């Protein structure tokens, strides 16, 4: 493949969108041909699937949810990611296969080998050249964003977030070219680390 595929991963509100935009701006200012995209979604069909999967209150069972994510991914990969990579572009994508392993696997307890198989099918074995995983500690999570939690919800969420954090750490160890980035830092320090990693890996040279 001529282009490069960079995936930004991590739990909700860890700063993926913020860093994705900064990265796109940086690479564009260097004259690189970059596209920014996201999952679930990224194409009209996949965005329709996103609406179903993220609609509050809709009854979507875990296995159906898994297949919806993979359906979105299959469409997105074939329609947008692969053509862009073949055209030599840098593709920056918020969330990809690692999110499904983290949420549906570690989070909901669906078999990880099965998720891996479905991920391979949906992606046509397309693998990121670089995966940046943003993880922050819980005390920062509660401060960020516009939500206010009740104590009970906050505690339940803390246990779930702990499980997700462990999942992401395992996945970083198992995934080639995946790096942990400490998302407790300021936006500027995190961006600095992202750019350092690009240099070290020569991914956009």
Q: Identify the residue among 51, 108, 120, 144 touching ligand ATP (CB under 6 A).
A: 144
Choose the one of ligand ATP, Mg ion, none that binds residue 190, judging by a C-beta under 5 to 8 angstroms depending on kind.
ligand ATP
- For 127, phi then psi, to 5°, come to -120, 140
Number of H helices, E strands in the chain: 9, 5
Q: Which stretch binds ligand ATP (CB under 6 A): 24-32, 69-77, 157-165, 182-190?
A: 182-190
Tell whether residue 190 is a contact of ligand ATP (CB under 6 A). Answer: yes
Q: Identify the residue among 87, 114, 187, 199 touching ligand ATP (CB under 6 A).
A: 187
Provide, rounded to whole angstroms, the least separation between the CB of residue 31 and ligand ATP. Answer: 25
Antiparallel, parallel or unpaired: β 4-9 and 90-94 = parallel
Tell whether residue 186 is a contact of ligand ATP (CB under 6 A). Answer: yes
Instruction: Report the C-alpha dihedral over residues 103, 109, 113, 117, rounded to 10 degrees.
Output: -50
- Please tell me the chain's helix, strand, coil percentages from 3-state DSSP, rounded to the nearest 5: 60, 15, 30
Between 55 and 186, CB nearer to ligand ATP: 186
End-to-end CA distance of the chain: 15
Tell whether residue 27 is a contact of ligand ATP (CB under 6 A). Answer: no
Between 82 and 130, CB nearer to ligand ATP: 130
């Amino acid at each position: 493949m001529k282009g490069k595929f960079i995936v930004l991963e991590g739990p909700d509100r860890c700063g993926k969108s913020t860093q994705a935009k900064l990265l796109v701006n940086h690479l564009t200012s260097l004259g690189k041909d970059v596209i920014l995209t996201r999952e679930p979604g990224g194409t009209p069909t996949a965005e329709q699937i996103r609406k179903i999967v993220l609609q509050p209150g809709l009854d979507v069972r875990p296995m159906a949810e898994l297949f919806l994510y993979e359906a979105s991914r299959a469409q997105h990969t074939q329609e947008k990611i692969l053509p862009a990579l073949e055209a030599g572009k840098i593709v920056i994508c918020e969330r990809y296969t690692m999110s499904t392993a983290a949420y549906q696997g570690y989070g909901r307890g669906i078999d990880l080998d099965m998720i891996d198989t479905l991920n391979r099918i949906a992606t046509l074995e397309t693998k990121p050249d670089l995966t940046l995983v943003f993880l922050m500690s819980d005390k920062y999570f509660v401060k960020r964003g516009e939500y206010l939690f009740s104590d009970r919800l906050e505690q339940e969420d803390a246990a779930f977030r702990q499980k997700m954090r462990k999942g992401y750490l395992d996945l970083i160890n198992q995934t080639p070219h995946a790096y942990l980035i400490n998302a407790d830092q300021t936006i500027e320090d995190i961006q600095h680390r992202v750019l350092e990693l690009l240099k070290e890996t020569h991914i956009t040279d």
